[in-house]
Amino acid sequence: MENLKAIIESLLLVAAAPLAVDRIQALLPQADSREIRAVLQRLASEYSERNGGFVIREVAGGYQFRTQPQYREVVKKMLQPSPVRLSRAALETLAIIAYKQPIIRHDIEQIRGVDSGGILRMLLDRKLVRVLGRREIPGRPIIYATTRQFLELFDLKDLRDLPSPKEIEELGRPPRQADGESAS
Amino acid sequence: MTEDGYKVKLENVFEGPMDLLIHLIRKNEVDITDIPIALITRQYLAYLEWLKRMNIDFAGEFLLMAATLAHIKSRTLLPSHSSDADEDPRLEIARPLLEYLQIKQAAEELAQRQLLGEDTFVRPPSAPDDWGDAGEETIHVGLFELIDAFQRILENIAPDHRVDLTTERISIKDRITEIVDVLEAKGSITFTELFASESDKSDVIVTFLAILEMVKLCLIRVAQHLPTGIIRLFYL
């Protein structure tokens, strides 16, 4: 399709959520998904080269127009959004769920060392966390996982886009001697 | 060392025993894999004392950690008899601390990303409902409409299919996961589409219970399209 780029651009403008390749494909049966992906990438680089007020970001499995972070202050002034700030405790809980999902509350609390019920409820309310079901063990505890909204909020393509546990390990862990240092 | 007091500002109050331990380890500049248990335990208990003096209630988790520390110390003092289990007893605390540090690091990295609604913004959606043509109305469905629709699906099943109470062929949990997967991909699905592939009564019931459970957990919103009567499930 010759005007495929313009068509996809128009779809991106009006989409209410990150627009996935599959969704575009369903709307444009003539175009194949590789072509659509290539066009999306070309559009994204065009916008970033233009260096304007917004760019195309790949988030939560789709593509979306998003404003450039450096203009956050004036945009916030206009929109006056309710603050999204999450407490440190909420961020920690969310990080545990993101990296260890699917996970039950007991295992979350095991890592944090404190009760996390209230925080979990808040994360559920804000739809950053969802219930996947219940584990078939005594007490049938609820299994938690993160949501698409979580990916959208943190500007993540998908869960693999999270910094890998290795990277974090290297930052958090002091270099450890192989063995022999067992004296107290 | 322990006498220089804990000048803890209110915003610095520790979230839990792990937080406090990490603070003490950093303050003393010791290696997490080589914790001087006696020193850290003494400071830890001094902090609990301080909390008590300040009349701040602290959770049982703090006491549990104190007991764990004391237990580790006692094990380091005892000669080990079995040669195969001479792992450093301090690992019992070092391992979870390392894991917790990793998570703290991960949380910091998350906080530094370009947060939607904080650092970056999207165009607000123009229509309140993003399915169907503009101008179509939907109403929110109550439990009874949902049960009516369920009844109609049950009526379409051949009467010789009996509910087998002994075997659960597909669990509600699995069904919820399946429905979530479909909804993640499509955003919404009609009530009848969900039942399209099932002929077995027990499967239908599991699906229905899964829907009720999902409504209860606020995972989905159910709305009925006025002109056609089609009930649709939306992923929230």
Per domain, the residue ranges of chain B are 2-111, 138-235
CB contact under 8 A, A88 and B107: yes
Residue type, B110: L
Q: Closest by alpha carbon to B66, among B91, B93, B88?
A: B93
> Could you tell me which CATH class the domain B138-235 is placed in?
mainly alpha
Packing angle of the helix pair B17-27, B37-53 (nearest 10 deg): 120
Instruction: Tell me if residue B190 falls in helix, strand or coil.
Output: strand
The answer to whether A137 contacts chain B (CB < 8 Å) is no
CB contact under 8 A, A84 and B34: no
The sign of the torsion formed by the CA atoms of B48, B54, B56, B57 equals: positive
CB contact under 8 A, A68 and B120: yes
Q: What's the pLDDT tens digit per position in B156-176?
A: 766 665 555 555 456 777 788
The answer to whether B199 contacts chain A (CB < 8 Å) is no
Which chain A residue lies closest to B73 (C-alpha atoms)?
A: A184
Chain B interface, best mutation among A168, A169, A177, by max B CB count within 10 A:
A168
Q: Which residues of chain A make contact with B218, given a CB cutoff of 8 A?
A: 124-125
Q: Higher confidence at residue A182 or residue A57?
A: A57
Q: Higher confidence at residue A41 or residue B80?
A: A41
pLDDT at B86: 65
Q: What is the pTM of this model?
A: 0.63
Q: Which of A84, A92, A94 sits opposite B117 (nearest CB)?
A: A84
Strands of the sheet with A142-146, listed across from one edge: A103-104, A142-146, A129-134
Measured CA to CA, the distance from residue B115 to residue A120 in angstroms comes to: 20
Q: Which residues of chain A make contact with B210, given a CB cutoff of 8 A?
A: none
Q: Which residues of chain A make contact with B121, given a CB cutoff of 8 A?
A: 66-67, 72, 75, 79, 81
Q: What's the pLDDT tens digit per position in A20-79?
A: 999 999 999 988 889 999 999 999 999 999 999 999 999 998 999 999 999 999 998 998
CB contact under 8 A, A168 and B123: no
Q: Specify whether the CB–CB gap between A75 and B121 falls below 8 A.
A: yes
Residue with tokens 């203009």: A71
Q: Which residues of chain B make contact with A84, given a CB cutoff of 8 A?
A: 115-118
Q: Specify whether the CB–CB gap between B41 and B89 falls below 8 A.
A: no
Please report the domains of chain A, with CATH numbers, ordered by start residue: 4-77 (1.10.10.10), 88-172 (1.10.10.10)
Measured CA to CA, the distance from residue B225 to residue B135 in angstroms comes to: 11
Residue type, B146: L
Q: Per DSSP, what are the bridge partners of residue A66?
A: A55
CB contact under 8 A, A114 and B123: no
The residues, ordered by sequence, that sit 6+ positions from A135 with a Cβ below 8 Å of its Cβ are A104, A141, A143
Q: What's the pLDDT tens digit per position in A102-138?
A: 899 999 998 988 888 889 999 998 889 998 888 888 8
Q: What's the pLDDT tens digit per position in B28-39?
A: 888 888 888 889
Cα three-residue angle B84-B88-B93, rounded to 5 degrees? 130
Provide the number of CB pairs (under 8 Å) joining chain A to chain B: 161
In the structure, what pLDDT confidence band is assigned to residue A87 with cuts at 50, 70 and 90?
confident
Average pLDDT over residues A1-5: 82
Q: Which residues of chain A make contact with B28, given a CB cutoff of 8 A?
A: none
